Amino acid sequence: MNILMDIGGKGIKATYEYQGTIDFYFNQMPSLATEDRTTIIQNLCQLVYTVWEKANYQSGVQAVNRISMAFPGPFDYARGICRIRGLSKYDSIFGMVIPVAMKQGFERLGYQCAVDAEYRFLHDVEAYAAGVSRTCNLVNNRALYLCIGTGAGSAYSVNGRIVKEGEGVAESGWFYNRPFLDATIDDYISVRGIMSLAETYLGKALDPLELSILAENGDPQAITVYHEFGIKLYRAMRPLIEEFRADTFVLGGNISRSAHLFIDELQQYMNAVHARLIIESNTSHMTFIGLASMDPMT
């Protein structure tokens, strides 16, 4: 059995793949990403065990053979070492070798079912991109992917394969730290970017869900916030799309569920250059598909 885990800054979602079938009724819990390292690792171990219990009940699975984790960067994906620092998440596990820490955690908690598991790690947006590429059959395309969350997660694919270098590809496939306006793309095209706009126009830093409810109900200031966010999104993405010569742009993350409130400028541009815009809001679903198929993709 393969445990599939989508590690976010706020929450973690997990499910399992068994005999080629993914259970899309996933488990979810808070990430506890600002807690100490022992708490974070124990939280991961507990979620693995919870999913294993479910798989054991449903399919009689006796052991976890692999744990496949989609993790935000920076991260040493080959060795399973967290390199996140200063991003208000997972600072306490900086430099930690996750497979070693989790094995120790399983032993400490008495969860023998997962002690001998093999680990695979993939950038969270690359896992999402792999899932979208397969689902949407992007086998003859140059696709640029953006997942908007606590930051601006990105990936690139050429003819269905994830690429981290080449014409127009940002270093490692990540453009979050690219200069934009007076800061970086990550500062503007993110949850905190929207919350900053909300504070400017409404006097309080509403989160995207609260803001979208107001906008849907016709609040002019909330509508303005999303319009301004859409303009910034277009201005940040257009150069990247042109540099990569992307014929497909894919937008994901929970905020993409409200894309109709801010996507007009980018949609008009994509139409003008005869390129395709895909909004795929079922981010974890696609991430699990990508994780389950990561061997042939990497």
In-domain check, residue 131: no
Q: What is the pLDDT of residues 225-242, one digit of tens each?
A: 999 999 999 999 999 999
Give the pLDDT score at 297.
33
198 confidence band (pLDDT: 50, 70, 90): very high
In-domain check, residue 14: yes
Q: What is the pLDDT of residues 13-30, one digit of tens each?
A: 999 999 889 998 899 999
Give the pLDDT score at 259.
96
Give the residue-averaged pLDDT of 56-70: 92
In-domain check, residue 149: yes
In-domain check, residue 239: yes
**127, 287 contact by CB (below 8 A):** yes
Give the pLDDT score at 151.
87
119 shares its domain with 35: yes
Give the β-pairing of 142-148 and 152-158.
antiparallel
**89, 31 contact by CB (below 8 A):** yes
In-domain check, residue 133: no
101 shares its domain with 216: no
13 shares its domain with 120: yes
Give the pLDDT score at 86.
85
112 shares its domain with 142: no
What percent of the residues of the chain are helix, what percent strand, and what percent coil, each to the nearest 5?
45, 20, 30
pLDDT at 195 over 80: yes
91 shares its domain with 197: no
Give the pLDDT score at 295.
58
In-domain check, residue 161: yes
Q: Report the C-alpha gap between 146 and 233 in whole angstroms.
A: 10
46 shares its domain with 150: no
Q: Which domain holds residue 49?
A: 2-126+288-297
240 shares its domain with 155: yes
3-state secondary structure of 174: coil
Kindly give the interhelix angle for 220-244 and 208-216, rounded to the nearest 10 degrees. 120
110 shares its domain with 142: no
Give the pLDDT score at 264.
97
138 confidence band (pLDDT: 50, 70, 90): very high
154 shares its domain with 202: yes
The CATH number that applies at residue 24 is: 3.30.420.40
Q: Which residues of 224-261 are buried (b: 16+ CB within 10 A; e: fewer)?
A: bbbbbbbebbbebbbebbeebebbbbbbbbbbbbbbeb
**85, 33 contact by CB (below 8 A):** no
In-domain check, residue 132: no
Give the pLDDT score at 298.
35
Give the pLDDT score at 296.
38
Residues near 150 by Cβ (< 8 Å), separated by ≥ 6? 8, 9, 10, 72, 87, 88, 89, 190, 191, 192
Give the pLDDT score at 121.
96
171 shares its domain with 100: no
Give the pLDDT score at 268.
97
Q: Report the C-alpha gap between 13 and 149 in whole angstroms.
A: 15
264 shares its domain with 292: no
Structural domains in the chain (count): 2
144 shares its domain with 271: yes
In-domain check, residue 158: yes
Give the pLDDT score at 115.
92
pLDDT, averaged across the chain: 94
Give the pLDDT score at 293.
84
